[in-house]
Structure 1
Amino acid sequence: MSTMNTLSELTGDYVLDPTRTRIGFVARHAMASSVRGQFDEHEGSAHLDGEEPSKSSVRLSIRARSIQTRNRRRDAHLCDTFLDVDQYPALFFTSTAVRQLADTVFRVTGDLTIRGVTKPVAVDFELTVAENDPQGGYRVGFKGSVTINRNDWGVNGNAASRILVSPKMVLEFDVAAIRRT
Structure 2
Amino acid sequence: MNFSRRLLIPAAALLMVLPAVAGDVDTYKIDPVHSAVAFKIRHFVARTTGGFAKYEGTINVNTKDITKSSVDVTIDAASINTGNEGRDKHLKSPDFFDVAKYPTLTFKSTSVKEVAKGKLEVTGAFTLHGVTRTLTIPVSNLGTMAGMQPGSVVAGFEGTVTIKRSDYGMAGMVGPLGDEVEISLNIEAGKVH
**Same fold, TM-score > 0.5, yes or no:** yes
The equivalent residue for 1:40 is 53
| TM-score, length basis structure 2 | 0.84
- 2-side partners of 1:76 and 1:10: how far apart? 45
The equivalent residue for 2:175 is 163
Bigger Rg, structure 1 or 2: 2
Runs of 4+ that moved beyond 6 A: none
- 3-state SS of the aligned residue for 1:163? coil
Question: What is the aligned-residue RMSD (CA, Å)?
Answer: 1.4
The equivalent residue for 1:19 is 33
| TM-score, length basis structure 1 | 0.90
Unaligned runs of 5+ in 2: 1-22
Residues 1:113 and 1:137: Cα distance change in structure 2 (over 3 Å): same
Q: 2:155 aligns with which of 140, 150, 163?
A: 140
Contact 1:95 1:111 in 2 (8 A): yes
Contact 1:10 1:130 in 2 (8 A): no
> More helix per residue: 1 or 2?
2
> How far did 1:129 drift?
3.7
- 2-side partners of 1:146 and 1:93: how far apart? 13
The correspondence of residues 1-181 of structure 1 with structure 2, limited to 5 A, is 11-30=25-44, 32-80=45-93, 81-135=95-149, 136-157=151-172, 161-181=173-193
Q: Which amino acid aligns with 1:77?
A: H
- 3-state SS of the aligned residue for 1:70? coil
What is the CA deviation profile of residues 49-100 of structure 1, one whole-angstrom value per residue up to 9, with x for unaligned ones? 1221110000000000100101111111111020000000000000000000
- 2-side partners of 1:84 and 1:10: how far apart? 41
Q: Which amino acid aligns with 1:155?
A: M
The higher relative CO (CA closer than 8 Å, separation ≥ 6) is in 1
Identity among equivalent positions (%) equals 33
Aligned length: 169
- 2-side partners of 1:150 and 1:56: how far apart? 28
